Structure 1
C-alpha cells in the first residue's frame, strides 16, 4: 500500500524559541514596518521623557530647596509638564498602533489557518476531533501577535527606559551603579531557570485546556443525545477529571510564573534600602548635597518597573512562543492530496466513471475495497447495494477524491482523476451525504452554496425538485428564514431535502447520492424519489439506497460484499438469480420496502 491517502499529522516542532521568533519577524515585520517604526518612536519618547523626569530631580531639589531660584523653578515645572504630556501622547500612539497591528496579524493568521484547513484531506478530519481542533486554534492564534508586541515594547520601551535611567544613575553616582550591576547576575540566572521549566508546563497546559473546551463544545453539539441517554453524570465525571488536570497544570504555571516576583521584589528592596541608607549616611556625615542622591534614587525607583517587566518577559515569551509554535505546526503540516504538477482540468463528455482494480484501506484498518472493477455508464444510474461494511460509501468517497485509492485507478471519460485538478473534478460532481449538513445563514443561502451564481428562480426550482418548496414557504420568512446552527430549527427530513436541493442546483453532470433519502419518512421519500428520477435524467448517477425499492429502476445494480463486486445487472436479472446476493437482500425486505436490519444485512 502506498501513502497517497496517509493522513496529515502535525509534527511536533523542534525549532528553538529563537528560530520561531525569527520566523515571526520575517513573516510580519516587513508588512508592518511603518507601523512598528512609529510605535517604536513613541516608545523612545516614553523612555526619554521618563529618564528626563529622573534626571531633572537634582535641579528640582537644588533650585527649590537648597538654593531657591523662583525663575528656574517655573522653568523646571513647565518642562516636567511638557515631558508628561509628551509621554501621554506617545503612550496613546504606541498603544493604538500596536493594537491595530496585532489585530491585523491575528486576522491574517486566522485566514491562513482557514485556508490550510480547507487544503487538508477528509482523512485528517476523520482522525481529528473538530471541537479539540477549534479550541486549540482559538487558544493559540494570538501567540504570534503577543511575541511581536512583547518584543517591540520590551526592546523599545523597557530596555531603552532602563538604559536611559541607568545613564542617569551613572552620571549621578557611578560607584553605586557598579555595585547594583555586580549583584544582578544571580537574579538573571534564577529567572532563566524558571523560564526553562515554564516552557514544558505551558505546552501541556494548552493541550489540556483545548481538551476542556473541546469536550464542552462536543457536549453542547450533542446535547440531545446526552439527555436522551442520561449521560450527564458520566460526561461530567470525565470532564471534571480533565478540568482537574488543567487546573493543576495552571497552578504549576502560576507558581513558576510568579516565582520571579519574590526574586525581583527582594532584590529591589535590598538595592533601594541600601541606596537610601548610603545616601542618608553621605548627607548626614559627609555633608553631601542631597540633590544628586535624590535624582539617583528617583531613577532607581523608576527603573524598577521596566526591570520587573523585563524579568517577567522570558516567562511571558515562553507562553507566547509555545502558542506560536503550535500554530506553525498546523500551518506547516504537509498536505497529502495536492494536485500533481501540470494537472489539467477535467473535461467531461459522457461523464462515464470507471474503477480499475481499486483497493483501499483506511489508516490502521483492514482493506475496505479489494481490486474493485466497476463501470458507471455516462448518463445512466448505477446503484450500489450490499450489507453494511461492503464498501459502498467508500466508493462514493473516492470518486470526488475525498481519499485516494491505495491501488488502481478511477477514470472519468478516460481521464485518471489523480491527474486532474481537484477543483475541476468536484465542479462536475454534486454530492448528497447520509448526514445532511446546513450552514449558518438562510435557507436560500444553503441551497445556493451548490452554485453561488444561481438565480433565485433556479434555487426555487431545485427546491421544488427536492420536494422542499412547500415546507420552505411555510417557514416564517420563507426562503429567507435562518436555519440556525446545522439547521437546528428544521427536522431531519427537511434538512435532507435542502441538502438534495443544494446538489440539484449545482446542475453537475455527475450526481452522487449516499443514502440521500435515509432521513425521510415513507411519504416524503416517495415524493423525493420521483423528483430525483426527473433530476437524474441525462446525468451519471451513482446511488446508495437503504431501501432496495428505490433503486429498482436503476440502469445497473452492483451488489457488493466484503469490499468486492459480487454481481451486477438490472433488478429483473439479479432478482432471478437463485442464491444470488441481490436476490437474498431483496427477499429480506418487506412489501413496504423497509430497510434491512444490521443483523440481517450482515448475515445475508
Structure 2
C-alpha cells in the first residue's frame, strides 16, 4: 500500500479536515486564476468598447464596464485571500494534529514492545523516527499537499479556459504538460531510495549523538573528545554525502521542466499572436491565454521542490508506520490480578531461557518462594540472577517451563496488573526529571504528600531529603544527576515502598552504594519486608545474610540452597564467596 494512502487510512478521523482543506486549496486557486481572465476582459473593453463581452451582458457604457471590472477585481482578490487564509490554517492545523497523534501513538506502541526488541535497536535511531521523521511528515502536510492540489487544479482550470477560447491553440500550448508531469514522476521514483538512505543516515547520527551525550563523563575522563568527535564527523559526512546525492538528482528536475515550459509559452506567444493578427482570435482572448500560460506553466517549476519534499516525507512516513506496525511480542491482555487477592507466592518450574542469538542463560531452574518470605539469590556475574527478575516482570518470556504467582501462570495474567503487584528497585534506578516527591510517587499518582513522606521515612530517605534546598520539592535533574548514587537508590526504594506491592524485588540495589547507605537500606528492608514476598539479588552476601533462604546460581543453574549458616557449613560455592568477601582465609575457615 502507498505510504500516503496508508497514512490517511491510519488517520481516518482527520479525513473530513483533509477534505475541507483540499476544498479551500482548490477554491483559492480558482480565484487566483480569475484575475488573469479579468485582464483579458479589460483589454476587450478598451479595444471593443460597446461590442465587448461585458456589453453583451448588459453593461453598455464603457465607464460602467470599468467600474464593474473594479468591483469584480476587489471581490476576486478578497475571496482569494480568504481561501488562502482558510487553507493555510486548515492544512497547518491538520499537520500539527496528525504529528501530535502519530508521535504519541508511536511512543505508546514502543512502550509496549518487549525488551528483546529494544536489544536490536539504538535509542538514537528510535528518536530519529519519533521526532525527525514525524516532523518531516508535518512539513509535507504544511505545504506539500496544498502545492500538489493547486498544481493539479490550476492545470484543469487553465486547460478548460484554453479549450473554451481556442481548442487548436490549447492542444499546442498544453502539449508539454503531460511530459512535465511524467518527468516529475520519473524523477521522484528514482529519488525514493536516495531519501530512504538519507533517513537511515540521519538515524545513525542521532544514535551516535545520544550514545555520546549519555556517556559524556566517560568521554571526558578518558580524554577521548577528539576520538568521539571523529566518530560524529564520520556519521555527519555520511549523512552529507547521502543528502548530496539526493540533492544533485532532485536539482536536475527544474531545468528539464523549464525547457518544456518554454516550448508551451513560445507556442502561445507566437502561434496565438498569428491567430490574433489574422482575426481568428480576439485581442482580449489572446491576452488571457498569454497570462494564463504563465500562470499554468511557471508554477510547474515548483514540481521539483514538491517532488523533493514528497519523497523526503514518503521515506519518513514509511519508517514511522513500520514502527507503529511492529507486532507486540508479549500481549498486555489477560486475566485480572486484583491487589487484595494476591498473596505473593512465586514459583519457577523447569525454566529455560536464552537471549536472542546468545548461549542459554537459564537451564532447568526450579525454585519456590512462599508468600511473605524473604529470599536471596546470589552468584557470580552472568550466572542468570537478574534474568530471573526480568522473566518474573515479563520483560521476556521463557523458551520452556512456567513461572507461577500464587499457583497461576503469569503468562495468562494481565500484564499491567502483574507489574503493579511487583515493586522493583534496580542497580541503576531511573529518576524522572521532576521533584523528589514526583519521583517517590512515580507509578502511584493518587499518593498524598503524607504518603510520600511516610514512604521516604521507611526507606530512611527523609533526613537527607529534608536537608535539600527545597526539600521534597527539589528538582533532581535529568536521570537524577543532582543526587548521589545512594540518594537515588533510597528514593527508588521509597518509590517501591509507596507502591505497597505484595512482591518486592531488589536487583543489586546495594552494589553501588557505600556502607552507610547499605546499612540504611538493610534497616529499611527489615521493616518493609514484613508481610510481603521479598527477593534480593545481590553480589554482596552481607545484603542477604538475614534472608530466610538463599539460592546460589552458577552458569544459569541453581547449585545450592539454604540459609546463610547452612550454606557456609556446606563449604561449597557460597562459602567460597563468603570467605572471598570477608577476607577470611581457607586455613582460618
Same topology, TM > 0.5: yes
Take 2:418 and 2:282, find their aligned partners in 1: how far apart are those partners? Answer: 87
State the Cα deviation string for residues 552-599 of structure 1 (Å, max 9, x = none).
111001111111111110111111113x000000000136x9xxxxxx
Take 1:309 and 1:158, find their aligned partners in 2: how far apart are those partners? Answer: 9
Take 1:155 and 1:450, find their aligned partners in 2: how far apart are those partners? Answer: 47
TM-aligned CA distance change 1:159 to 1:45, over 3 Å: same
Residue pairs, 1:97-112, within 5 angstroms: 97-112=90-105
TM-score, with structure 2 as normaliser: 0.92
Residue in 1 that maps onto 2:56: none
Take 2:304 and 2:73, find their aligned partners in 1: how far apart are those partners? Answer: 29
Residue pairs, 1:149-228, within 5 angstroms: 153-154=146-147, 156-228=149-221
TM-aligned CA distance change 1:193 to 1:159, over 3 Å: closer
State the Cα deviation string for residues 97-129 of structure 1 (Å, max 9, x = none).
111122111111122112201210122223321
Q: Does 1:586 align with 2:578?
A: yes
Residue in 2 that maps onto 1:236: 229
Residue pairs, 1:61-80, within 5 angstroms: 61-64=43-46, 67=49, 69-80=62-73
Q: Does 1:365 align with 2:358?
A: yes
Residue in 2 that maps onto 1:44: 26
Do the aligned residues in 2 keep the contact of 1:392 with 1:544 (CA within 8 Å)?
Answer: yes
TM-aligned CA distance change 1:412 to 1:304, over 3 Å: same
Question: The residue matched to 2:174 in structure 1 has which SS?
Answer: helix
State the Cα deviation string for residues 311-342 of structure 1 (Å, max 9, x = none).
654443332222111111111111111146x5
Take 1:131 and 1:281, find their aligned partners in 2: how far apart are those partners? Answer: 64
Q: Does 1:552 align with 2:535?
A: no
Residue in 2 that maps onto 1:496: 489
Deviates more, 1:396-405 or 1:344-353: 344-353
* Structure 1 position 225, deviation (Å): 1.1
TM-score, with structure 1 as normaliser: 0.90
State the Cα deviation string for residues 517-537 of structure 1 (Å, max 9, x = none).
223211121122111211111
Take 2:554 and 2:304, find their aligned partners in 1: how far apart are those partners? Answer: 67
Question: The residue matched to 1:383 in structure 2 has which SS?
Answer: strand
Moved over 6 A (4+): 285-288
Take 1:258 and 1:167, find their aligned partners in 2: how far apart are those partners? Answer: 31
Do the aligned residues in 2 keep the contact of 1:346 with 1:421 (CA within 8 Å)?
Answer: no
Residue in 2 that maps onto 1:435: 428
Residue in 1 that maps onto 2:55: none
* Structure 1 position 148, deviation (Å): 5.7
Residue in 2 that maps onto 1:25: 8
Residue pairs, 1:106-125, within 5 angstroms: 106-125=99-118
* Structure 1 position 40, deviation (Å): 3.0
Question: The residue matched to 2:511 in structure 1 has which SS?
Answer: coil
Do the aligned residues in 2 keep the contact of 1:194 with 1:315 (CA within 8 Å)?
Answer: no
* Structure 1 position 80, deviation (Å): 1.2
Q: Does 1:54 align with 2:36?
A: yes
State the Cα deviation string for residues 24-55 of structure 1 (Å, max 9, x = none).
223334x2344334323322321221232222
Deviates more, 1:430-439 or 1:260-269: 260-269
Deviates more, 1:59-68 or 1:547-556: 59-68
Take 2:246 and 2:545, find their aligned partners in 1: how far apart are those partners? Answer: 65
Take 1:344 and 1:100, find their aligned partners in 2: how far apart are those partners? Answer: 40
Residue pairs, 1:314-333, within 5 angstroms: 314-333=307-326
Deviates more, 1:444-453 or 1:176-185: 176-185
Residue in 2 that maps onto 1:480: 473
Which structure 1 segments of 5+ residues have no match? 1-14, 594-604
Residue in structure 2 matching 1:393, options 386, 390, 415 = 386
* Structure 1 position 213, deviation (Å): 2.0
Residue pairs, 1:499-578, within 5 angstroms: 499-578=492-571
Do the aligned residues in 1 keep the contact of 2:125 with 2:204 (CA within 8 Å)?
Answer: yes
Residue in 2 that maps onto 1:454: 447
Question: The residue matched to 2:570 in structure 1 has which SS?
Answer: coil
Do the aligned residues in 2 keep the contact of 1:450 with 1:503 (CA within 8 Å)?
Answer: no
Take 2:391 and 2:40, find their aligned partners in 1: how far apart are those partners? Answer: 81
Take 1:26 and 1:274, find their aligned partners in 2: how far apart are those partners? Answer: 43
Question: The residue matched to 2:243 in structure 1 has which SS?
Answer: helix
Bigger RCO (CA 8 Å, 6+ sep) = 1
Residue in 1 that maps onto 2:58: none
State the Cα deviation string for residues 423-444 of structure 1 (Å, max 9, x = none).
2211111000111110121111
* Structure 1 position 23, deviation (Å): 2.5
Take 1:268 and 1:419, find their aligned partners in 2: how far apart are those partners? Answer: 67
Residue in 2 that maps onto 1:308: 301
TM-aligned CA distance change 1:349 to 1:21, over 3 Å: closer
Question: The residue matched to 1:588 in structure 2 has which SS?
Answer: helix
TM-aligned CA distance change 1:193 to 1:155, over 3 Å: closer
Residue in 2 that maps onto 1:92: 85
* Structure 1 position 493, deviation (Å): 1.5
Do the aligned residues in 1 keep the contact of 2:91 with 2:141 (CA within 8 Å)?
Answer: no
TM-aligned CA distance change 1:148 to 1:237, over 3 Å: closer
Deviates more, 1:271-280 or 1:451-460: 271-280
Take 2:557 and 2:230, find their aligned partners in 1: how far apart are those partners? Answer: 44
TM-aligned CA distance change 1:285 to 1:180, over 3 Å: closer
Do the aligned residues in 1 keep the contact of 2:353 with 2:362 (CA within 8 Å)?
Answer: yes
Take 2:358 and 2:21, find their aligned partners in 1: how far apart are those partners? Answer: 56
* Structure 1 position 278, deviation (Å): 3.1
Q: CA RMSD in A?
A: 2.2
Do the aligned residues in 1 keep the contact of 2:550 with 2:564 (CA within 8 Å)?
Answer: yes
Question: The residue matched to 1:576 in structure 2 has which SS?
Answer: helix
* Structure 1 position 147, deviation (Å): 6.1
TM-aligned CA distance change 1:184 to 1:98, over 3 Å: closer
The number of aligned residues is 572
Residue in 2 that maps onto 1:403: 396
Question: The residue matched to 2:381 in structure 1 has which SS?
Answer: coil
Question: The residue matched to 1:47 in structure 2 has which SS?
Answer: helix
* Structure 1 position 56, deviation (Å): 2.1
